[in-house]
Each structure stands twice: as structure tokens, then as C-alpha cells.
Copies of this chain bind each other. A is one copy, B any other.
Amino acid sequence: MSLYHAFSPEDAIAYAKSITGFFAANALLACEEIGDGNLNLVFRISDPQQNRSLIIKQALPYAKVVGESWPLSLDRARIEREALEIQHQLCPELVPAIYGGDNELAITVMEDLSDYTILRQGLIDGNTYDNFAEHIGLFIATTLFYTSDLGMNQQDKKLRSARFANPDLCKITEDLIFEDPYRNADNNNFTEDIRSEAEKLWQDHALHLEVALLREKFLTHGEALLHGDLHTGSIFVTSDSTKVIDPEFAYYGPIGFDIGAVIANLLLNYAAQPGWCDNHDILQERRAWLLSTINGVWNHFEQNFRKLWDANGIDFMSKTPGYQDLYMRKILQDTIGFAGCKVIRRIVGLSHVADIDTIESELHRRQAKITALEIGKRLVKQGRMAASIAEVIEWAEAAAAKEGANV
């Protein structure tokens, strides 16, 4: 009989007290549930007098976003905690500390980041984060290099890969990103004013071919332990710090998938800009910052990954002249293709982004979707031939240049 039950605030406080040495024994603890409640409960437990706090995250046995009918394995809490522990060990500055957890209860106890802003909200609010590209580039390069066959014992990697099989969460990605947007699926979710655009996606066989190739990579290429859901809602920021959270989708997959997720979400914010900026100059400036951040994400990733490879690569054959260049080119192409898939699914698929959906003007909202689809399709279709991140910048600028006079 499982011990699992969804925590009440009182349960969360009692559990927090059981974490040795964190709160004083006689502390008066407060608790608030701060999760968005789609997949998890998130309790913030605090001792206001000592100004100490922590987070207890508990997995729910279903995905609320589609009702209780989409059951999800509670084992994802173990996967998330184990991934966080690996990532924290590799990048202690960029991942919250883990204080404990319990597999049966599906909980993880971790550092409270209440001083941080969710990057997606920070971007919607018009903020800039000039260290973000450097931080995330370092995070991606470090966590992926040291969990790949290039940077860790190749036999241990196989055993680790087995611990992160994660079928339930991968299924969400496989359906929502790599299939539903390309057919008239029940789970799709788009406004009627872009129906013709959605229908074009269902008919576009050249697009489908590239998506099929990317889907195959997602299904079969176990290159590194991915975060697996690295959108701007999984990243906390301040002006000088970045923390990556929520790796419950972690599994061994293609390296470009994580980088693509970051870039896709920056591009979605890019597409949304006219909905947030009245002032043409400010709009141009924000868009330029977003594109420069995309450029920076890739370049910091690439520089760090190559540096780790040269200094700490464990694979004799991987030191063959020319191989690293081919490998980086492949990651770039994968990154661009995956970014495109992730942009497209946020417009016509089940789950959207606030960057676009909260734009007040219907006209601007529609234009943002059109621009995003324009960029997304180009990334998917041309990613396999791309040679440089500059092409992504160019395609984003070209899509913006096509926006109507009403924007």
C-alpha cells in the first residue's frame, strides 16, 4: 500500500520540520501553496522570525491541464530530484540546493528562490538580463557534457540512462511537440483567427519530413541527460543570477533539444514584442537584445562545450581532428530544428506561452502568432542545412520585416 497522499499545508509544515537542522525546533512556520497546480503542488515553508524558508514540491498523479484523465507517474519526482542533484553538483551556482526528498511521497525539498523572478515573466515585463546568456550557456554545456559519452564513464552513463527512462513525461513531449501540431488532433488548441495557418501545418509534407527526423532524434538519440523542458518558465533570474529548476522531463536525449528550448522561448517573446511595445525604437531595441541573447546562448554553449571537450574529454576517438567540428555542427542543426518545433507547438498545440496569449490587442496577438509560425517553420525546414546561429537571427529579422503595417 503506497504512502502517497497529496500534502495539505499542515503536512508540508510537518515534513519541513523533519528536515534536520533547517528550522529551529520551536519555530513558528508559515506555509503557502504557490504552484500553478498543473502537475505539482509547491509549498513555501518559512520561519519569518529567522528569515529562513524552503520549498517542498510534490508531484500530483495526473496532469491537471487536461483534467485528471492524463495520469502521470509519481516516479517523475524521483527523476526530477536525481536530475537536480546531478545538475547542482555540476553547476552549484545555477541550480537550487536540494535538502531532501521522498520517493513514495513524490516530494523534493529544496532551496527557496522567492527573491527570483521567473524569466518568462521578467521578459514579459520588459526586463533585460545581461548575464543570462552566459549563465544558461554554461549550464547547458556543463550539464550535458558531463552526462554524455564525451565527459563521463560510458558504462556508468548506460546505467544512468536506464534510471532516467521517463516514459510518461517523454510521451507528453512526443505527442504535444512532435505530432499533434501536424495533424488535426483533439489536443490542439488555437484561436479561429489562425485556423488557416494551423491547417497549412497539417498539409505541409516538407515540414512533416523534418519533424519526423527530429522526432526520431528525440526518440532514439541518447546523447546526454537533458533537462527536457528548458523553457523560460523553468528558469529563475535576478539581475545577476540564474537558477534552473523543474527537470522532471529529464531523460537521455539529443543535446540540441535543451538549447532549442531556450532559443524557442526567446523567439516566442521576440514574436510577441509588438504586443508589448508601443514605441518603435523600444521595440527594435528589445528585439535586438533578444536576438543578441539568442546568439549569446549558442555561443556561450559552444565555447564552454568545446573547452570542456578539449580539457576533460574521456573518449579517445572523439579527439580525432575534425570530429568536434562535425559534432558541433550537428548540435547546431538539431538545436535550430527543435527550436522551430517548440515555437510551432506553442501557437497551435495544447500548451501556449503567456508572452503571446496575454497580449491584449487581438490584432497584435494574431500577428505575434503569425510571426512565430513563420519563424518556427523556417527553423524546422532549414535547420538541417544550417551552418551558423547567424542564420536564426537572420530568419527572425526577416519574419519581423514581413509583419503588417498594423503592428
Contact = CB atoms under 8 A, between A and B. Distances in A.
A205 B321 CA distance: 7
Interface of A: 149, 154-156, 158-159, 161-163, 165-168, 170-171, 174, 178-179, 182-183, 205, 208-209, 211-213, 215-216, 219-223, 251, 315-318, 320-323, 326-327
Given A205-B321, A212-B320, A220-B222, 5 more contacts: A154-B174, A161-B165, A162-B163, A220-B221, A220-B223
Contacts of A161: 162, 165
B165 A318 contact: no
B158 A209 contact: no
Given A170-B155, A216-B149, A220-B223, A211 B165 contact: no
A201 to B, nearest CB: 13
Given A220-B221, A320-B209, A167 B182 contact: no
Contact of A154 (B156, B166, B211, B219): B219
Contacts of A171: 154-155
Contacts of A159: 165, 167
Contacts of A205: 320-322
B213 A323 contact: yes
18 contacts: A149-B219, A149-B220, A154-B219, A156-B167, A158-B170, A159-B165, A205-B321, A205-B322, A208-B317, A208-B323, A209-B322, A209-B326, A213-B326, A215-B315, A215-B317, A220-B222, A220-B223, A221-B221
Nearest to A155: B167
A184 to B, nearest CB: 12
Given A149-B219, A165-B162, A221-B220, A212 B318 contact: yes
B323 A212 contact: yes
A87 to B, nearest CB: 20
B183 A316 contact: yes
Contacts of A211: 317, 320
Contacts of A223: 220
Contacts of A168: 155
Contact of A209 (B154, B162, B182, B323): B323
A183 B219 CA distance: 33
Contacts of A166: 158
Chain B CB count within 10 A is highest, among A158, A163, A174, A222, for: A158
A352 to B, nearest CB: 22
A327 B217 CA distance: 12
Given A167-B158, A323-B213, A179 B317 contact: yes
A182 B212 contact: no
A316 B149 contact: no
A377 to B, nearest CB: 15
A320 B213 CA distance: 10
A119 B310 CA distance: 45
Contacts of A165: 158-159, 161-162
Contact of A317 (B212, B222, B251): B212
Nearest 3 A/B pairs, CB to CB: A155-B167, A162-B162, A208-B320
A97 to B, nearest CB: 29
A258 to B, nearest CB: 15
A327 B219 CA distance: 14
Contacts of A212: 317-318, 320, 323
Given A155-B168, A167-B159, A171-B155, A182 B215 contact: no
Contacts of A162: 161-163, 165
Contact of A316 (B158, B179, B222, B323): B179
